[in-house]
Structure 1
Amino acid sequence: MTGSGLLVGRRKELDELEQLLDETRTGSLLAIVEGSSGTGKSTLVHHFLDRHADLTVASAGGARWEAHHPYAVAEQLLRGPVQRVDPFEVAPDLLQLCEGTTILAVDDAHWADLESLQALSSAVRRAHSHRLLVILIVPDEPPEAVTDGVAQFLAEHHAHRVHVGALTAADVAALARRLIGVDLSGRTARQLCEHTQGNPRLLRQLLDEVPHKRWLEWHASLPVPRAIAASVRRTLHSLSPATRSVIESAAVLGQDCTFSEVARLSVVDQPMTALDEASAAGVLVVRNRRGETTVRFPDPIVKAAVEAQVLPARRQDLHIRAADLVETEGGRLHHLVSATTVTDADLADRLVDYARRQASVGAWSEVADALITASRLSPDTSDREDRLVRGVDALVGAGDLPQALAFEPEIGSGRGGARRDAVLGYLAILRGRPAEAERLLGKAWEQCDPVRDPDTAALIAQRMVLHSLGRLRGAELVEWVDRAVALVDIDDPAAVESEAIKGLGLAAMGRVDDARAAYAELETRARLGAQAQRFRMGKGWLDLSLDDPETARRELESAVPTVYRSGSVRISLWAQAWLARAHFVLGSWDEAIATVNRAAAQIDDLGLELVRPLVHWTGAVTHALRGNWSESRDHLNRADAATNNYEIMLVPACLARAQCAEVVADYESVIRFLGPLTALQSRGGLDEPGTWPWPDLYANALVMTGRVDEADEFLRPHERLAARRGHRSASARLGYARGRIEGARGNIDAAREVFETALQQLSILPLPYDRARVTFAYGQTLRRAGKRREADAVMRSARELYATLGATTYVERCDRELKAGGLHIKRTGPNRADLTPQEQAVADLVAAGRSNKDVAGELFLSVKTVQYHLTRIYAKLGIRSRSELAAHFREQE
């Protein structure tokens, strides 16, 4: 968000303002919008006012030189001089501005005159017959020059407060996209957010001043806006040499260094006196923590501005001496690198050794920094290229895919080799490009000698495991796991991490008992860090597919955290995707949405396309069932995938669209959206019961569009497979479609038996949505067969189940079904008295704008039957068209 009117983020703050506007229905309000300088308070309010251009709006602004002029702000609002002397008397004049709902906004209200503020407050108190919202825009810490009266008014006045804080890293990335058309990497967006403390004004200045292409490069440090640099330069020149030395030493040592370190590095005679001067100038902040004095800069950008002022020779000397002062190895290496201006083989080797030790504890961000820096310092071309490749691989391990992609052209132009192709193949996997990944990984495997270089071979095999998982190819996955394990020691982290996925491959082959046994054996070895995280994620995924969602939820929840367990953010995202599914099937839809939103934000930050559709599938369907269509469409758009993407992306993308189409009874679209799945050449992992609930969805849509025999033929192999596996929920879901088939053929007793069996299979499983769905189809089938009383009881049960879940769209469909059934319906209105219950249901839907095909799908009727009912409705009501029917209903309402 910037002063130019560009708004990014701020959904929470806008919602707060909308809520306040809503509350003016019951009483007028005064609101204070506050935040630090440059956070975009004014832009937020102006955007809010633009959204309500249909309301009465007036705005004004305070000015420092008018702060002592009585009614300076009121005169702006009233567009004329104020002749009165008492604020109480001016209030009625302000209320004359009110016409309908009215918003009065005052920018820089801390520079407003006290009389105008008092008049506005009195107007709010006396706006009994008006809907008035007064908005005052102020900094959260008013300047010292603000008058005492205004400061007291703003501090003590009872008002609703909306705080405008810093932008998030995601907001920063969005701002860069909209302002300069650049997609920042997750690392750069976070760096930039921390550098500017999320201040939109500073962000705008930097994005405007720095050449756009530089934001796609690796940044060890970030530049400073020219205005800030000039301000800091002027301040430093006004200080004594000793004070400048202390400030420069603090900048080199970094934020939150101890004063003793600063004093030793600065080598001045009176360091405390210098510190006092630096503190008084606002350049350094002094704190005392448990007897130890620390110094820091007020914000990172001031520190960067100070560093930029230090001359090169002075900076080098400070860093060399600082390396002897700090205690950590990483800190020492940082200072030595900062002091180095040419290649240095010895320092590069030290960085590589440091990276190796950090890799053992999973600190991949530190590994990436060390290796990429080592690459830049390496005089040998071979070392330089190898270290860069390994550094980029570590960036992916750290979850920073966009930054890793920034190095792709550089490593792609190198000499090549197995490891390079393995890294490029890995990037292709995470971006959802199976053909490219298969080519690169296959080439890497051909170039690698497993005997001479087992580590690289194991790495390639691990990547092929993930590739096979994405293709839903269980047999290939198991084969590559076995290769990876054979190349290293059985307790090697690479072996354990590969085996953590093997059970999923076995399950995709139908070897469920072997999959369970594999996880039981592995549990004794996968106990710490990333290994345990992968194990819990894989086992939770398996548990969910095998009708044990409660155990799955526990396992997946334990696989989500990464901070304290040296876990992987990529594995955490897989865990969150399946955790959202576990919450969904258990009926914990609030938790499902919260998990989706959290994971979606991380995916946007990291750019991990492979998991994106899986996460947004749950969000799209849950919101559709709740009737939140704008949110559902947003998730559908973000879940999109194409046939050239991985199957593990395509399947949830197709399911999301198909399930949302089923919610509104658009069965033709269900068939169309699932078409890519029927066309897949290899469907073993897709058709295996449990993970992907698509066969019943597709067969049901065939029935509802009149293709009953086709549905029967399609369903039979899936029914046989589910029975062979003994999979209860899959059999029940298929029973949902089988019952429809029998009902459509008029075999109501057979349909009843199928539905009852399906509900019995679900009765011992904690799957409320599946139970509601089967019950709904059962009730529809009974009503179509003319079993009105029985259908009524079943449909009421379905309605109760859906209502408990919060599935408002299906609650409404159940209500229409109950109305069509005709029991417990009160006929109202003289012109509707002769309509049967089913005619009333048809008339309601047609009057609401639904097509005959839509009505047929909704009420489980044929299109011909709908047309027949519509003809009778027109005759009974004395009308001739759909538009007349809609007008007739509006008049009655």
Structure 2
Amino acid sequence: MGSIGAMVGRETEREVLSEFTAATGGRVLVLRGDAGVGKSALLDHAAELAAEQGHRVIRAAGVEAESELPFAGLHQFLYPLLPSIDQLDPAQRSVFDVVFGRGGSTSPSVMTLGIAVLDLLSLAASHEPLVLVLDDGQWLDGSSTEVCGFVGRRLTGSAVKLLVGLRAGVPSGFDTAALPELAVATLSEAAAEELLDTRHTALDPSVRRLVLDEARGNPLALLELPPHVSGARAERGGGNVSGYTGIPLPQRLHQVYGARIEALEPSVRAELLRGALDGVGAGSAADRTRGTRYRMRDADEAAARGLLDVDPLSGDFVFRHPLVRSTVVQTATPNQRRAAHAVLADLHRADLERRASHLAASTIDPDEQVAATLEAAADSATLRGGALAAVAWLTRAAELSESPEERHRRLGDAAYIAGHSGQLDHARQLAGAGGGPGANDSPAAALAAGYAALFEDGDVRSTQRQICAAVESMRDAGVKEPDEVLTRLVDLLLVINQYASDDAAWERTHRILDDVGHLVPPLTRIYEDAWGDVVRRGAGLHARVERAFADPQGLEPWDVTRLCVAAYHVDTLSQYRPHLQRTVDREVETGAVADAMTMLHLIMLDQIAVGEWAEAERTGQRCLELTITHQHALFVHHTQAYLGLLAALRGDVERARELQAQVDAWARPRGVGFLTQIADATGTAAALGEGDYEAAYLHAIGLTPPGTFTPYAHQASRSLLDLVEAALHTGRSQQARAHALAARDANLPDISPRLALITYGALAMTAEDAAEADAMYDRAETHPAAVTFPFEHARIRLAHGIRLRHTQGRKAARPSLTLAAETFERLGAPDWAERARAELRAAGTAAASSSAPFAALTWQEQRIADLAARGLTNKEIGERIHLSPRTVSSHLYRVFPKLGITSRAALRDALGKLPSDQNV
């Protein structure tokens, strides 16, 4: 296509790019086309236009050699902006540590990092508008692609533009990024002839015709084929060269470049190979932001043959086109590639992950030092969100291990991470890949098989026996020092026991841990106490969880998940939800889906607890799609169980009972007691909502008998208020009182804030003495946790209001009943709201929804309501204030009932009626 100034054809593309660069405000555009069609030339053209218009241009290029290195591509864009990063506040700066390898923190989520990048770009663009140009985006690493897609969808209103070039036919994360595209097609016949005649004058007519036919308008082919075809014709003495026709164009261009490469001196070919394997860019500006890179020297011969260009600013050699780079690698022998990788490994001594990549490719014989480096890189990748890269490096480290013990250990580590990445078949293969007799009976193999059997089909019975046997075999073998495989086996055993909820299995596990507990870390003992019987082992657990979270940067993703499960059991999950939300998107995107599913469950549970029910529904549906896609049957039914419980709370009884039946039919025959308990809790909640207290009581006592709490039944204590209310409404006041007293005597208020709230509520509801009832109601309604658990709080207020109406009169009851009705309406619990309104009518007050004053909006709700009233969509609001559209929707869901409206159309009028101190 010639130089930028002499570009042939492309009138439409140039017009689009001219409008793109000249337009005010942020924009994004993807150029997609075949190899050699001219995408890079168009990107160069756009960059030159932008520079002429006063934009600062930052270039980056995807490189296949770096496609598995987390954030390698994003580093190219951010490196020139380091001075601006230093102007951000400390919290924002810390987000970039993982990109630049300056800290050991876990990788932030795409949203967290994306928002930080947007803030950084906005800061940089406040001085001069920015244009980011990405070539070969199909080779960008997955972490960087996700962030670029996130940023690209949110540039409206900024002074930042993003241009991306993608090769057609190569899968890329940009394929689902929903960014506007411009298809770059081949040149027209006239433009192709003009380009060929301009760059290759005096061609023989037959050669000219053949090149035009073979190139089919591909500019790179038009530029590169003529010497090759002419040479082939000369070799045949000027004869017919039509036999050249029919070879696919990319392959033919490889042939063209391959012939030129073979003609080079060996030393020059070696220089090109080292540059190609290190990812030296295809464009002159692409490498200036990449930090340390191999610099090809004494390669003038390659430049003369049209294989390299010279960067006009740095003077470094760069590849003329990505096809040149790939051809250099393809034409090298294995020994030549290994020698080049060895040189590059030495070059990147200070970059652990890049050095590991080259060492892995340069080493043949077992080498413990190399294996240790690969293992360290795998640890780094795991913390940075590169689970798949970690599995590959650990597998290679095992292959290079000098002892069978180290080989087995590293393969076990790879299998463990593969299991958490949802690669259950791969995990089994890795665990049994140690070789030798009994490899498939090793503890690591038992671990991988246990994960697969549990998550694929919910097999808790046989897996519990197998993992117990594996742990006992290690104990009996005389393990004396802390052992990672033993810890993983015990942790899996605790997961299985949690799902089984079987007291005999738990007691056996406690005995095992009494023997080997000194060989596992303190976190495992937290899981043991929290996941089993929190009533009997939960004292002081919340403080232990808090201490464990004191340094979250040192926690593996699966430990964050497990600690959050423990926090759920002691009802302190809300304070750790930010850890989950920072991590869950990354786990999904990097393939660690098993952890991500549990994280989504936990986020959903906390959303249910704090009253974000619409948001919880969306989280549950997202998790359900993920579990179905990856065929994790256990997690499919686990998610359905939570969705059923949520449906019951929201008054969708038909759906709740349908999901309850599905979960129960799957889980009960398998002995998955954790899920059958949630199914029973769903039945209880649905019956309570309908006012069918007899059915609610029968469901509730299926979880635990009145007056006690069934050991190892996690719903036994959680259903305290349900059983008490159902018993009272069916005339079983003695059983209700016994159950409330059992909660007090078991010291449930000391275990968790929610258990404290509902214990005081149960004691108040069942108290015969008026003074005790008043004291317990006051203690419940003024408890610091009351606002954190609005549904339980509203139920206690409703019960209190009913009691006040009967004991002190209608006027005394109205405040409690009004607050209860407002909360139920805000939550979206229609059956409970109607019950509260009925009590209000009995207390001589009109329906709470029409008579209650507007509830105060929070500052965030005011911002969101005002933007929505101006006509902005949830997506646009989220972009403006850096929230997800789902979070915006959740806030609006709470705003509407506070304002007494049901649609966005009524927002402006409703906001206008607020007191002056409530307006934004």
1:176-203 Cα offsets, whole Å, 9 max, x none, are xxxxxxxxxxxxxxxx9994335389xx
Closer/same/farther in 2, CA of residues 674 and 555 from structure 1, 3 Å limit: same
User: Is contact 2:280–2:294 with CA below 8 Å preserved after alignment?
Assistant: no
| Structure 1 equivalent of residue 223 of structure 2 | none
Matched, 1:677 2:700: no
Query: Could you tell me which of 318, 338, 351 is aligned with 2:337?
Result: 318
| Structure 2 equivalent of residue 197 of structure 1 | 173
User: Is contact 1:320–1:335 with CA below 8 Å preserved after alignment?
Assistant: no
| Structure 1 equivalent of residue 817 of structure 2 | 795
Structure 2 counterparts to residues 776-787 of structure 1, below 5 A: 776-777=798-799
Matched, 1:460 2:489: yes
Inter-partner Cα distance in structure 1 for 2:556 and 2:416 = 21
Inter-partner Cα distance in structure 1 for 2:712 and 2:461 = 19
Structure 2 counterparts to residues 701-850 of structure 1, below 5 A: 701=726, 706=730, 708-709=731-732, 712-713=734-735, 716-717=738-739, 719-725=741-747, 727=749, 729-730=754-755, 733=758, 754=773, 757-758=776-777, 760-768=779-787, 769=790, 770-777=792-799, 794-807=816-829, 810-815=832-837, 818=840, 824=846
Structure 2 counterparts to residues 28-47 of structure 1, below 5 A: none
Deviation for aligned residue 1:508 = 2.0
Deviation for aligned residue 1:652 = 3.8
Matched, 1:396 2:419: yes
Deviation for aligned residue 1:772 = 0.9
| Structure 2 equivalent of residue 372 of structure 1 | 395
Inter-partner Cα distance in structure 2 for 1:715 and 1:238 = 89
Closer/same/farther in 2, CA of residues 509 and 357 from structure 1, 3 Å limit: same
Matched, 1:557 2:610: no
Query: Could you tell me which of 694, 699, 712 is aligned with 2:719?
Result: 694
Inter-partner Cα distance in structure 1 for 2:355 and 2:28 = 45
Q: State the structure with bigger RCO (CA 8 A, min sep 6), 1 or 2.
A: 2
1:586-634 Cα offsets, whole Å, 9 max, x none, are 4455775676677777767877777777777666555665578999899
- Extract unaligned runs of 5+ from structure 1: 1-31, 39-165, 173-191, 202-228, 280-285, 488-493, 743-748, 827-893
Closer/same/farther in 2, CA of residues 460 and 693 from structure 1, 3 Å limit: closer
Letter in 2 for 1:685: Y
| Structure 2 equivalent of residue 504 of structure 1 | 530
Matched, 1:642 2:671: no
Partner secondary structure for residue 306 of structure 2? helix
User: Is contact 1:586–1:767 with CA below 8 Å preserved after alignment?
Assistant: no
Letter in 2 for 1:642: A
Matched, 1:236 2:254: yes
| Structure 2 equivalent of residue 585 of structure 1 | 609
Q: Which moved more, 1:384-393 or 1:615-624?
A: 615-624
Inter-partner Cα distance in structure 2 for 1:287 and 1:759 = 77
Closer/same/farther in 2, CA of residues 458 and 565 from structure 1, 3 Å limit: same
Structure 2 counterparts to residues 42-61 of structure 1, below 5 A: none
Closer/same/farther in 2, CA of residues 447 and 673 from structure 1, 3 Å limit: same
Deviation for aligned residue 1:369 = 1.4
User: Identity rate of aligned residues, in percent?
Assistant: 16
User: Is contact 1:345–1:378 with CA below 8 Å preserved after alignment?
Assistant: no
Inter-partner Cα distance in structure 1 for 2:579 and 2:258 = 56
Inter-partner Cα distance in structure 2 for 1:296 and 1:587 = 57
Closer/same/farther in 2, CA of residues 457 and 619 from structure 1, 3 Å limit: closer
Deviation for aligned residue 1:417 = 2.5
Letter in 2 for 1:766: A
Inter-partner Cα distance in structure 1 for 2:252 and 2:29 = 29
Matched length: 584
1:548-599 Cα offsets, whole Å, 9 max, x none, are x4xx533453466459999998777656644554454344557756766777
Inter-partner Cα distance in structure 2 for 1:519 and 1:799 = 35
Structure 2 counterparts to residues 146-295 of structure 1, below 5 A: 195-197=171-173, 199=175, 230-237=248-255, 241-242=259-260, 252-254=277-279, 258=287, 264=296, 269-271=301-303, 274=306
User: Is contact 1:355–1:366 with CA below 8 Å preserved after alignment?
Assistant: no
1:709-753 Cα offsets, whole Å, 9 max, x none, are 4x85376245323344052754764676788889xxxxxx77997
Letter in 2 for 1:264: M
| Structure 1 equivalent of residue 12 of structure 2 | none
User: Is contact 1:620–1:636 with CA below 8 Å preserved after alignment?
Assistant: yes
Structure 2 counterparts to residues 513-552 of structure 1, below 5 A: 513=539, 515=541, 527=551, 529-531=553-555, 549=572, 552=573
TM-score normalised over the length of structure 1:
0.50
Closer/same/farther in 2, CA of residues 799 and 200 from structure 1, 3 Å limit: closer
Inter-partner Cα distance in structure 2 for 1:336 and 1:477 = 43
Matched, 1:419 2:423: no
Partner secondary structure for residue 425 of structure 1? helix
Closer/same/farther in 2, CA of residues 469 and 625 from structure 1, 3 Å limit: closer
TM-score normalised over the length of structure 2:
0.49
Inter-partner Cα distance in structure 2 for 1:293 and 1:767 = 66
User: Is contact 1:320–1:336 with CA below 8 Å preserved after alignment?
Assistant: no
Inter-partner Cα distance in structure 2 for 1:764 and 1:250 = 66
User: Is contact 2:786–2:793 with CA below 8 Å preserved after alignment?
Assistant: yes
User: Is contact 2:308–2:320 with CA below 8 Å preserved after alignment?
Assistant: no
Structure 2 counterparts to residues 595-634 of structure 1, below 5 A: 621=645, 625=649
Partner secondary structure for residue 799 of structure 1? helix
Query: Could you tell me which of 440, 445, 452 is aligned with 2:471?
Result: 445
Partner secondary structure for residue 684 of structure 1? coil
Closer/same/farther in 2, CA of residues 697 and 612 from structure 1, 3 Å limit: farther
Q: Which moved more, 1:461-470 or 1:318-327?
A: 461-470
